[in-house]
Chains A and B, each alone.
Chain A
Amino acid sequence: MSDHALDEPVRRARAQRTSVRWREAAWRQYRLERKMFWRNPSAAFFNFLLPLLFLALFGAIFADREADLQVIVPGIAGLAVMSTTFSALAMTLTYLRESGVLKRVRGTPLPTSAYLAGIAGNAITNTALQVALITAAGSLVFGLDWPQDWVALVVFVVLGVVCFASLGVALSHAIPNFDSAPAYVNAAFLPMIFISGVFFDADHAPGFLHAIAEVLPLKHLIDGLSGAMVSGEGVGAHLPALLVLGLWSAVGIVLAVRGFSWDARRT
């Protein structure tokens, strides 16, 4: 095509480019997703401002009641993990699938895994920012101690992300169209945050609600976060929580992978 002298360097450059291609593609997709996230008012509100708003309101209500604040801060951290992954991914993937963006992307050379990594990376960035802001506000604004066990905090946030992200992707497969997506998502999200001890200590809930919460993942995530942030119990003190979150993650991953469709349901 062009100058022969250029051929060899061009070829070498291309080979090199192939090796970094996946990382580069995932990184470009991630930056694009970040840009679009901030430009989408409804995503920015529900996945970013809402948990912080909850924290500010409940923080104001429970001001100076340390025992209540020690429930609400890890509770809202758990809510933030769930809303930034489960709710956000279920909504986003339903939109992308039904509008045909997924199908269009599938027809380009972009590696599929790099594309999905960019989308997941966007959600995980929100999770990390939220947990960091909530933790910092707990200490700096509400006067709680800094987290007692940072390792346990990281372990539970990571496990929570894996669990709720995979469940969110799995849920998107069950949502038939984008109009009904908020109903599906909130039918799972709202009851779970109320019974799982986001706003009060779940152990004080009536027996049957407590029993339901025990088999769902959010209560266990909040228990683990509470142990890490408040009481300083390490990962070892929450083995049942690890087990429940691990089981839900396994179910979520299997369903997320098996039901994945690039094509809109309407066809």
Chain B
Amino acid sequence: MTTDVAIEVDDLRKDYGTQRAVRGISFSVRRGEVFGLLGPNGAGKTTTVEILEGYRERTAGRVAVLGMDPGPRPVALRERIGIVLQSSGLYRHLTVHEAVSHWAGLFRAPRDVDETIAQMGLQAAAGRRTITLSGGQQRRLDFALALVGDPELVFLDEPTTGFDPAARRQAWDTVRSLKELGKTVLLTTHYLDEAQALADRVAIIKDGAILAEGAPGELGATTRRYRVAWRDSAGMAHERETEDPTPLLHDLTGAALARGDRLNELSVTQPSLEDVYLELTAEAVE
């Protein structure tokens, strides 16, 4: 396997009893990349990530994380990854500094404790017990604990769910700073704007299967569909979809000219990531 691949997933499957949570997904994440798994709740994102983190056994498929099989939870792998879980408890009676410094001691080559606390914007709270922190501060402590071991690869499972907009922006800045540090990031989210803002590449996942994959800007284009919309002179809105807009436009404009009509507000657009996401996950949204 090449060294510039951080995560390789090939036909991964996971069943819980008769329920098929993950139905054969494949993707790979390059080193230094922020990869987003985007999908509605219950799509299989967390199951996938927890298999990669070594928390769950897979039913079938091949998985390599930093070149290792996460199944047996090798220490060599746990030394090199950082995990931010969807929700996880803290030692309530420790201060922020004590918690980060204890965590640093679990790794062979940790980062500087004070620097990590400062980078997460927790200097002012360093001496406070974790039980007194706000939700946003606790999340930043989650990041600090995941980063103090200086991991190459960071897993972020729904890092901003339940956040207010300001806390979300802060968390986004943190993820961007991870990328600047050269870390590889695997991010799950059900927020489209989050995937767009942070991820270099996105896989849209639903019902345990990947529906589309690519850079956020290209995802719409991969469907190769164009939407042509206009308004007739009576003010009625029309919309057509086509894989090739050229003959369609030729016909439309030809017919309009022949009638002496106008195609008001004529537009040719490719669906945005949002359109693709909404369309692909339509049933789940209800």
Contacts and interface: CB of A to CB of B under 8 A. Distances in A.
Given A40-B93, A101-B90, A101-B91, A109 B85 contact: no
B230 interface: no
Given A28-B102, A109-B78, A110-B106, A104 B85 contact: yes
Interface SS majority for chain A: helix
A37 to B, nearest CB: 9
B175 interface: no
B89 A96 contact: yes
B8 interface: no
Contacts of A11: none
Given A107-B83, A108-B103, A109-B79, A101 B89 contact: yes
Interface string A77-109: 000000000000000000110111101101111
Highest count of chain B CB atoms <10 Å: which of A14, A40, A96, A100: A100
Contact of A28 (B88, B90, B92, B105): B105
Interface string A8-46: 000000100100000001001000100110011000000
Nearest to A104: B88
Interface in A98-132: 98-101, 103-104, 106-111
Nearest to A101: B89
A262 B54 CA distance: 12
B76 to A, nearest CB: 9
B91, B92, B145: residue with the most chain A Cβ atoms closer than 10 Å: B91
A109 B106 contact: yes
Contacts of B105: 28
Interface in B90-123: 90-94, 98, 102-103, 105-108
B108 to A, nearest CB: 7
A123 to B, nearest CB: 16
Contacts of A106: 55
B216 interface: no
Nearest to A95: B89
Interface in A186-221: none
A118 B112 CA distance: 25
B149 interface: yes
B75 interface: yes
A133 B25 CA distance: 61
B194 interface: no
Contacts of A110: 106
A2 B81 CA distance: 22
A109 B55 contact: no
Interface string B42-53: 000000000001
How would you classify the secondary structure of chain B's contact residues: helix, strand, loop or mixed? Answer: loop
B89 A107 contact: no
Interface centre among B83, B93, B108 (most CB of A within 10 A): B93
Interface residues of A, number: 25
Contacts of B93: 35-36, 39-40
Contacts of A32: 91, 94, 102
B81 to A, nearest CB: 8
Contacts of A35: 93-94, 98
Contacts of B222: none
A36 B91 contact: yes
Contacts of A99: 88-90
A171 to B, nearest CB: 20
Nearest to A98: B89
A96 B92 CA distance: 11
Contacts of A104: 83, 85, 88-89, 145
B161 interface: no
A263 B57 CA distance: 13
A107 B55 contact: yes
Contacts of B89: 95-96, 98-101, 104
B267 interface: no
Interface in A169-194: none
B158 to A, nearest CB: 13
A16 B90 CA distance: 31
A66 B106 CA distance: 52
Interface string B245-272: 0000000000000000000000000000
B53 A107 contact: yes
B85 A108 contact: no
A17 B53 CA distance: 25
26 contacts: A17-B108, A28-B102, A32-B94, A35-B94, A35-B98, A36-B94, A40-B92, A98-B89, A99-B89, A100-B85, A100-B89, A101-B89, A101-B90, A103-B88, A104-B83, A104-B85, A107-B53, A107-B54, A107-B78, A107-B81, A108-B106, A108-B107, A109-B78, A109-B106, A109-B108, A110-B106
Given A100-B87, A103-B85, A109-B149, 7 more contacts: A25-B106, A36-B93, A100-B88, A103-B88, A108-B103, A109-B107, A110-B106
Interface of A: 14, 17, 25, 28, 32, 35-36, 39-40, 95-96, 98-101, 103-104, 106-111, 262-263
Closest 3 CB pairs of A and B: A99-B89, A100-B88, A39-B93
